[in-house]
Chains A and B, each alone.
Chain A
Amino acid sequence: MPLGTLDRSPPPFFKQGPSALSKLMVFSAIALFLMVADTRFRISQPVRAVVATVLYPLQWIAMRPVLALRFGTGYFESLSSAQATEEAARRKLAAQSLRANQVEELTLENDRLRKLLQLRDRINTPATAAEVLYDTADPYTRRVIIDKGLAHGIEPGSPVIDESGVLGQVTRVYPLVSEVTLITDREQAIPVLNARTGARSVAFGDPTSKDGPLELRFMAANADVQSGDLLTTSGVDGVYPPGLPVARVLKIERRPDSAFAHIGCAPQALVEGARHVMILAKSGERMPPRPHPEDTAPPLRKVPK
């Protein structure tokens, strides 16, 4: 039997390092600390940024098979389906051309009227185009990763839209990529305006609901909402520019035992399969300054004499 058949170096008898149990304790404590730091204090971003930068080459490699598959299916797609897509795109363009041509004139008219009425100018929002790299595999949230990051001037909190509506908001920015939380995530809320009635409300993500992945909460049971109503951003939050389509009301359930109606909505943006998105700059900086908050200290109670 030649040498090297067996592991010749004997296992260390005395120098075994800390025991497995103590290692378990230490690393569990670090993991728990990281979780608390991540959820409560939000101080773990430097750790994430470092790990993300180290992982970027691996992520780049892991993307290749998926990109090759996308390219391959696109290449071998039959000619007829490509022609059908082109036909649909042309029809859509023709339908939009009338409105698109009117936009210039309407913008000019709007500007003049606003000047006439001495209203504040509309806020123009600069935008950056980006591509969705992948949906995060985490099944407990609804997030996607896009291919623009700190190096491209992306700021956390910026709204993200696709061609048909609001998709979500940038929540974390890494050097080369950023993470977008979709409007259907459970922790995401977006102030909306009912385009038919002008009533303002807030839509919350509710991905497990059967009535649609968005829910319009705190609407009175007798509120004027109909199924099919378009909800657009209201712009009161200073994050999303006003007037972007968000969702369409799907189902309204007025329960006799509750003061609020249960309203399910379907997002207009392709939350499940968006590829090309636009990242808008936060409109907060170009908004007028917020009014100074009133002194919130409780009034001094007069000492009864």
Chain B
Amino acid sequence: MIMRPGQQLLLPANPVFIWGSLLLALLMNMIPLGRVAWTPDLLALVLVFWGVHQPLRVGIGAAFAFGLAMDVHQAALLGQHALAYTALSYLAITMHRRLLWFTVPSQAVQVLPLFVAAHAIELAIRMMAGGIFPGVSLLLAPVIESLLWPVVSIVLLAPQRRAPDPDENRPL
């Protein structure tokens, strides 16, 4: 296994944790905070994260299903989030071998175009379907999402960074 110098060897990911984190992100997306265009899409962020780190477990089909759930919850056009998440997941899978060679801050810069693309897909579809232009604050959403990338990297990789042999000195 070829790895970046200085990269920590991680424990195997727990599937329960992966799907639990995805469900939690869906739940946090569902908290009704009003109609704010720049709300970061946490579900998209977590989907890209697992698409990069565990491409065999979280694939395009799961992204599509979560997208449908978001569409129905937001009463948006059916298939709008599904298409955006499908594209997002595909892009994450294509770049997953390259991305993990970089440090976390430069990973955040490299995932920014993905989130921009996802929001651009949604905007283009809705403008074609005759929606209201939500304002330029929509541009903030992908920036916030990629700023949250380091946070998500720390939180979601924490269980895999535990000690392989816990003892009294290292209980976790």
Contact = CB atoms under 8 A, between A and B. Distances in A.
A47 B65 CA distance: 12
B32 A137 contact: yes
A128 interface: no
A34 B59 CA distance: 20
Contacts of A185: 132
A61 B75 contact: no
B59 A137 contact: no
B18 interface: no
A173 B164 CA distance: 52
9 contacts: A8-B12, A32-B83, A35-B80, A58-B30, A62-B27, A63-B32, A136-B75, A136-B76, A142-B132
Given A28-B87, A61-B27, A34 B78 contact: yes
A18 to B, nearest CB: 9
Interface string A2-37: 101111100110000000110110011011111101
A2 B31 contact: no
Contacts of A52: 72-73
Interface string B44-82: 000000000000100111011001110011111111101
A239 B163 CA distance: 66
Interface of A: 1-2, 4-8, 11-12, 20-21, 23-24, 27-28, 30-35, 37-39, 44, 47-48, 51-52, 54-55, 58-59, 61-63, 65-66, 133-143, 145, 172, 179, 185-187, 207-208
Contact of A6 (B9, B32, B76): B9
A182 to B, nearest CB: 11
Nearest to A40: B129
A133 B63 CA distance: 27
Query: Which 9 pairs show the lowest CB-CB distances between chains A and B?
Result: A134-B32, A140-B131, A139-B134, A34-B79, A62-B30, A31-B83, A31-B79, A7-B12, A5-B164
B8 to A, nearest CB: 12
Interface string B8-36: 01011100000000010011111111111
Interface size bucket, B side?
35 or more
Interface of B: 9, 11-13, 23, 26-37, 39, 56, 59-61, 63-64, 67-69, 72-80, 82-83, 86-87, 90, 93-94, 125-126, 129-135, 138, 164-165
A8 B12 CA distance: 9
B74 A136 contact: yes
A162 to B, nearest CB: 18
Contacts of A31: 64, 67, 79-80, 82-83, 86
B56 A11 contact: yes
A47 B77 CA distance: 12
Given A7-B12, A23-B59, A27-B86, A135 B79 contact: no
A208 B133 CA distance: 8
A229 B11 CA distance: 70
Nearest to A140: B131
Contact of B132 (A24, A39, A140): A140
